[in-house]
């Protein structure tokens, strides 16, 4: 705050905070470029239209729409939606240009979803070999940066959303800086080791320690029948079953942990276009 004394009184000039009132994400998300990539933030959570999203682009490694800037999952999760058959920038169209864009939605523990847009044609389904339902680690290749859809120049559009919550959730990309600004130049760093276990219908005894993540999915029922299955402080987990999740007496989720259970089809998310 800067104050100036005038004859008629004191006028104070408040410097607007650069930290708008956005909710922080529950998950920690890495920068969604392969490790070691220099990344420039062009639109941050407060300057993007609409707000709450990021636009970022790889720098220093040649042109986009090639293999120069691999896009990776920002956190462990399950692929919920892929569109990667487009290859052009659209003509004049509706604001979302949904019929022209390529994108990937991933559902994470804590119920948050992340979206990656404008990627190169077929780089998700063919190059990365992904399909809906696949589990990915933080750092798993999703495709290549490009400018498909309503993109003004090559870049990655990245956002985090929570189903049924109209507010956008800016991301925590690191513990040292929770919000990136539109002038930032950053270098993507490596992820921690991927720790999910896949497709187990009956779960063995396990203690998930601090920062651990466990994701399970099964077509019908997940049953925790183990004597000990504990999510401890700082861990988070997710179970997705088609019909039921049965938690036996050994299951505990301690204070400070996050546990997310999804029952049924992903089409009930509430995020328009996320899972059609």
Least CB distance to Zn ion at residue 200 (A): 37
Number of Cβ atoms within 10 Å of the Cβ of 226: 16
Contact between 58 and 38 (Cβ < 8 Å): yes
Q: Smaller CB distance to Zn ion: residue 156 or 208?
A: 156
Cα(261)–Cα(147) distance, integer angstroms: 35
Contact between 235 and 213 (Cβ < 8 Å): yes
Per-residue contact string for residues 135-174; x = within reach of Zn ion by CB under 5 A: ----------------------x-----------------
Per-residue contact string for residues 84-123; x = within reach of Zn ion by CB under 5 A: ----------------------------------------
Least CB distance to Zn ion at residue 101 (A): 10
Of 22-30, 32-40, 45-53, 162-170, the segment contacting Zn ion by CB under 5 A is: 45-53
Q: Smaller CB distance to Zn ion: residue 4 or 49?
A: 49
List the interface residues with Zn ion, window 246-265 (CB under 5 A).
none
Q: Smaller CB distance to Zn ion: residue 20 or 256?
A: 20
15 is written with which tokens? Answer: 């410097």
Q: Environment class of residue 182 by beta-carbon count within 10 Å: exposed (0-12), middle (13-18) or buried (19+)?
A: middle
**55 touches Zn ion (CB under 5 A):** yes
Nearest to 196 by CA among 150, 142, 103, 260: 260
**76 touches Zn ion (CB under 5 A):** no
Task: Find the farthest-apart pair of alpha carbons in the chain and give their distance in angstroms, rounded.
Answer: 77
Q: Smaller CB distance to Zn ion: residue 56 or 218?
A: 56
Q: Smaller CB distance to Zn ion: residue 102 or 236?
A: 102
Nearest to 242 by CA among 264, 260, 224: 264
| Alpha-carbon distances of 175 from 11, 20, 30, 140, 158, rounded to whole Å | 38, 18, 10, 21, 18
Q: Smaller CB distance to Zn ion: residue 44 or 55?
A: 55
Cα(156)–Cα(44) distance, integer angstroms: 12
Of 32-40, 52-60, 100-108, 182-190, the segment contacting Zn ion by CB under 5 A is: 52-60
Binding residues vs Zn ion (CB under 5 A)? 53, 55, 157
């Amino acid at each position: 705050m800067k104050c100036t004394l005038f004859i008629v009184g004191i006028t104070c000039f408040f410097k607007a905070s650069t930290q708008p009132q956005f909710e922080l994400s529950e998950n920690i998300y890495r920068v969604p470029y392969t490790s070691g990539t220099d990344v420039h933030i062009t639109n941050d959570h407060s300057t993007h239209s609409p707000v709450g999203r990021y636009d970022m682009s790889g720098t220093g490694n040649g042109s986009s729409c090639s293999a120069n800037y691999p896009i990776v999952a920002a956190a462990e999760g399950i692929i919920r939606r892929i569109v990667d058959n487009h290859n052009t920038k659209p003509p004049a169209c509706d604001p979302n240009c949904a019929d022209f864009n390529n994108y990937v939605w991933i559902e994470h523990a804590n119920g948050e979803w992340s979206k990656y847009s404008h990627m190169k044609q077929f780089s998700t389904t063919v190059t990365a070999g992904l399909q809906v339902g696949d589990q990915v680690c933080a750092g798993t290749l999703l495709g290549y940066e490009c400018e498909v859809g309503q993109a003004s120049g090559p870049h990655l559009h990245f956002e985090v959303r929570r189903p049924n919550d109209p507010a956008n959730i800016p991301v925590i990309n690191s513990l040292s800086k929770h919000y990136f600004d539109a002038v930032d130049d950053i270098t993507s760093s490596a992820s921690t080791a991927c720790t999910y276990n896949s497709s187990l219908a009956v779960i063995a005894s396990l203690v998930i320690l601090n920062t651990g993540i466990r994701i399970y999915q099964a077509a019908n029922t997940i049953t925790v029948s183990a004597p000990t299955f504990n999510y401890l402080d700082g861990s988070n987990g997710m179970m997705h079953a088609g019909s039921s999740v049965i938690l036996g007496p050994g299951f505990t989720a301690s204070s400070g942990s996050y546990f997310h259970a999804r029952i049924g089809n992903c089409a009930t998310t509430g995020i328009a276009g996320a899972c059609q």
